[in-house]
Structure 1
Amino acid sequence: MKIAVIGATGMVGREVTAEAVRRGHRVVAASRSGKPVESASAAEPAVVDLADAEAVSALAAKNDVLVFATGPSRTGGDHQEWLTASTRALEAVGSTPVLVVGGAGSLLIDGERLVDSPNFPEAYRPEALTLSALLEELRNAPAELNWTMISPSPMIAPGERTGSYTLGLDSPAGERISSQDFAVAILDEVENPQHAGRRFTAAN
């Protein structure tokens, strides 16, 4: 399978790239810098800016699936600009399946989004609200967009690749997940799609 990862140098993107290479896929590691992913030397580096819809369209045409592993900056930047660029990029992928890495803030507990709870960390709230808005845009997207979104557990960080995880839909499946096992869940969905047109989540 030919897989393109946009945002391949980020925490999740590099693990997805490495996991895809580990499984023998042909992988394009796309990012604004075009830097190679050290843990996945077999991946082909490519310079792709999310805001360049034409480049995203060309990437989609050459691959079997796209993984969007980019997100709004937590430390600054224009979130609306990122959201607009993401929307336009997704409009450009055509019929190529796309798996979007979302956030945990849109997950629900007793009908309430985590991002709306009083204990949600303020430092993460702007990012969570922007990713929640992207989920709503996907849910309202034209039927021809073949999308899936995966949200991590409320806590995600580099750790151990166990190959084991639990799935959920709109509510957290657990408290935490390693970025390595999150990548395993993503590649399992890429290889065997089970959540087309839906959001799901994974936890250790």
Structure 2
Amino acid sequence: MKLVLFGATGMVGSRIATEASARGHQVTAVSRSGQSPVPGVTTAVADISDRARVAELAAGADAVASACAPPRDGANPQAPFLVMNQSLVEGVRAAGVRRLVVVGGAGSLEVAPGQALADQPGFPEDYLPEALAQRDVLTYLRTLDDEGLDWTYVSPAPEIAPGERTGRFRIGGDQLLTEDHHAGRISAEDYAVAFVDELEKDAHPRARMSVAY
């Protein structure tokens, strides 16, 4: 598979690049710095806000993935992050690529029908703007009526951090996967395994999936 990965140098993006490359996929790792997250991948410089550059890089790819995070400059990230993802979608469409898989957030996962984790009392205030920005992207993707764009939004467990690659985890949908009645966790390495599995299998077209232990 020829994969173009935006946001390839972050904690999650670098592990997706590593996992995909180790499976023999041809990875173009795209970031604003142009640095290589793993030996052996092609690198490129771009920002997903530049839809023409997205289209240029995505042309001829089998799939596009985004591990881009909301801006962390102290301002409210909701509007800028939504615009970034709209540009990404427009660029992918312009390139004629059907498959788009996006690293999502956990805050929009449901703790009960219609009740998102981010809306619950006690949700950490420091993480709320980013959680809402991520939720806006999922809402936007769900409005797309273009059957030619096969997107998947992959939510991690609320706790995600560098760790071990075990290859053992649970896959869910919109509901929060708990662990011993507590909010779940996942290593960034195992999240990357699930993410690349989805790229290969296309098991959740035009839907959100979640990953947790």
The answer to whether the superposition gives a TM-score over 0.5 is: yes
Which residue does the alignment assign to 1:163? 167
SS of corresponding position for 1:159: coil
Which residue does the alignment assign to 2:32? 32
Amino acid at match of 2:22: R
Unaligned runs of 5+ in 2: 179-183
Q: Identify the match of residue 202 of structure 1 among 197, 203, 211.
A: 211
Give the drift of 1:75: 5.0
Q: Are positions 1:100 and 2:102 aligned together?
A: yes
Amino acid at match of 2:139: E
Deviations for 1:48-102, whole angstroms, at most 9, x for unmatched residues? 1111100111122131101110011345245212221211221221242100111
Contact 1:74 1:126 in 2 (8 A): no
Contact 1:74 1:124 in 2 (8 A): no
SS of corresponding position for 2:54: helix
Give the drift of 1:164: 1.1
Q: Are positions 1:117 and 2:120 aligned together?
A: yes
Which residue does the alignment assign to 2:82? 83
Which residue does the alignment assign to 1:53? 51
Amino acid at match of 2:46: V
Q: 1-side partners of 2:176 and 2:57: how far apart?
A: 32
Q: 1-side partners of 2:122 and 2:41: how far apart?
A: 40
Give the drift of 1:172: 1.8
Contact 2:3 2:28 in 1 (8 A): yes
Q: 2-side partners of 1:65 and 1:160: how far apart?
A: 26
Amino acid at match of 2:16: V
Which residue does the alignment assign to 2:181? none
Q: Identify the match of residue 143 of structure 2 among 137, 140, 155.
A: 140
Sequence identity of aligned pairs in percent? 43
Q: Identify the match of residue 185 of structure 1 among 167, 186, 194.
A: 194
Deviations for 1:109-154, whole angstroms, at most 9, x for unmatched residues? 1121000001211110000001101100000012232211000001
Contact 1:103 1:132 in 2 (8 A): yes
**TM-score (normalised: structure 2):** 0.91
Q: Are positions 1:62 and 2:60 aligned together?
A: yes
Amino acid at match of 1:132: R
Amino acid at match of 1:141: L
Q: 2-side partners of 1:41 and 1:77: how far apart?
A: 35
- Could you say what the CA RMSD is over the residues aligned between the two structures, in angstroms? 1.2
Q: 1-side partners of 2:144 and 2:186: how far apart?
A: 29
Contact 2:172 2:209 in 1 (8 A): yes
Give aligned pairs, total.
202
Pick closer, same or farther for the CA change 1:33–1:78 going to 2, 3 Å: farther
Contact 2:174 2:209 in 1 (8 A): yes
Contact 1:98 1:147 in 2 (8 A): yes
SS of corresponding position for 1:92: helix
